Structures are given as C-alpha cells and as structure tokens.
Amino acid sequence: MKGEIDRNRLPKHIAIIMDGNGRWAAKRAMPRFFGHKAGMEAIREVLRACSDIGVKILTVYAFSTENWNRPTDEVSYLMNLLIEYMHKEINELNKNNVKVKILGDLSPLPPTAVEEIEKAIELTHNNTGIQFNIALNYGSRAELISACRNIAKEVRDGKITVEDINEELISNSLFTEGDYDPDLVIRTSGEKRLSNFLLWQSAYSELVFADVMWPDFGKEELMDAILEYQSRDRRFGKIK
Ligand code: FPP
C-alpha cells in the first residue's frame, strides 16, 4: 500500500466497474469463463475489505443491459455464476450483516436467478451493515428513460406538476433511490470510460482507473484507490 488511509474521510459509497475478466483469462490461455469465475472470487475480498473499513455502500457492475449481446454461452455462464454466488454466499452475507440490493430490471433474467436474488433481498432486508448493490441488467440510460416515463405519468395523472421535477425527484426515481451518490467510481483493467454506469449518480464522483484486471483487484488495490481518492480536492463546482 502507498500510505495510510484517513478513516475520517472515507468514501461512503464506492462503485466498481469490474472490467478485465476475459483478458485475465486470455493471459493464462484459459477460456473467458475462467476469468469470470475468478472475478466472482474477487468480489468477496473487496466486499469484506469495504465492510471492515466502514464503507456504507459498495456497488458492483455485474451485468449491463449491453452484456446480453455477448455469445449465448457466456451470458448463460454469467447467469449461472450469479445463481451460484447467491446460493453459496447468502448465508455468509447475512451473517456479516450485509444488505443486498439490486440495481436493474430483473424481468428478463432466468426465473431461478430471480428466485435466488429475491431470497437474498428478503433475508438481508433488515441488516444494518454494508449495503451491497449488484447492478444487474443495469444501464444508466434505460434507468433514466424509465424514470422520465414514471415522472411523466405522474404529471399526466395530476399527481405532481412540471415544477415539482427537481434533482431530488429524479434521484428518487432511480434504482439507487435512498442511496448516497458514489463518492468514488473505480474501473479496473486500464480502460477509461463509464460504459453507461451510474451516469446521473456519478456527477461529482471521483474516478479512479486501476491498471489491474478485475480478478487481480483485492484489498491492497482497493486501499490504493481510496488513497488516491483522498488525495483529490473535491470542490463540487465551488472554489476554495
Ligand atoms: C467484465 O469483464 C466483466 C463482466 C462483464 C462481468 C462481471 C461479472 C463478474 C465479476 C462475476 C459475476 C458477478 C456476480 C455478482 C456473481 P470482461 O468480460 O468485459 O473482460 P474483458 O474486457 O477483458 O473481455
């Protein structure tokens, strides 16, 4: 690690674009699936480290609205991995007081996946530890379209007026309703883009691009990202 974390200036919400599973596997002359499996293991370590240090919310980008365009066998593998993850981890997550939340529209997911997810949400509903948001079939643009439609219906039905539309109303119409906006967005693998992830919510987030592939991202890399975050001067459009 490259220094000491200031526990009084921790990011409350960390959001991660877990990129590079495929390249990690290719480097080992293994199929892409192998990388996704290793990626699943990395989530465990990072969630634990976030929880231990006192981060309030961890969001991971597990499956985007665009990921359906991958080959069918990769999509099926990812869905099965999700089912396996939920099934295997749920008791441990619950024991550790983790609260599971999903960002995204679950309706196109296989019924077994939805079942496991709903079980996890219900079981952990009253937990008071770290909130673990899994972005699944998530896309920021789809989320904003859905929010616009819901707000437009409320105006049409006379429940609110056009003047009632403000930042708070829009924030509360998103999957992240009630959550702090992410203070820190991390993307692994060296790619530097947001890929339709939390576009509204990350308006003032600090972005950290880590040069390791997601399966190699662990506690140490997380602490380095937090240190980089703490070295930034967050002004939110103001001057000092
Ligand atoms: C990006 O790497 C990763 C994904 C699209 C899937 C992320 C999924 C996991 C880490 C495991 C499953 C998650 C849960 C919650 C069980 P990539 O495939 O785009 O890698 P590449 O850019 O190197 O090809």
Please give the pLDDT value at position 1. 62
- Residue 97 annotated among the catalytic residues of the structure: no
In a domain, 158, yes or no: no
- For residue 114 the two structure tokens come to 């939805």
In a domain, 24, yes or no: yes
Of the candidates 19, 179, 183, 224, the residue annotated as catalytic is 19
Global pTM value? 0.96
Residue 76 lies in domain: 8-139+181-231
In a domain, 32, yes or no: yes
In a domain, 87, yes or no: yes
**Residue whose CA lies nearest to ligand 1 atom number 1:** 19
Please give the pLDDT value at position 235. 82
State the CATH number of the domain containing residue 104.
3.40.1180.10
In a domain, 78, yes or no: yes
Ligand 1: centre distance to CA 78 (Å): 8
Ligand 1 pocket check for 19: Cβ under 6 Å: yes
> Ligand 1: which of 21, 76, 209 to mutate, most ligand atoms within 8 Å of CB?
21
Please give the pLDDT value at position 236. 85
- Residue 19 annotated among the catalytic residues of the structure: yes
In a domain, 209, yes or no: yes
Per residue in 179-196, pLDDT tens? 999 999 999 999 999 999
Low-confidence ranges of the chain (pLDDT < 70): 1
**What is the C-alpha radius of gyration for the chain, rounded to an integer number of angstroms?**
18
Asked whether 133 and 55 are in contact (CB, 8 A), the reply is: no
Our count of domains for the chain comes to 1
Asked whether 170 and 200 are in contact (CB, 8 A), the reply is: yes
In a domain, 212, yes or no: yes
Asked whether 96 and 65 are in contact (CB, 8 A), the reply is: no
199 in helix, strand or coil?
coil
Q: Are strands 184-187 and 13-17 parallel, antiparallel or unpaired?
A: parallel
**Considering only CA atoms, which of 39, 59, 119 is closest in space to residue 86?**
119
Tokens 């409320």 locate to 154
In a domain, 194, yes or no: yes
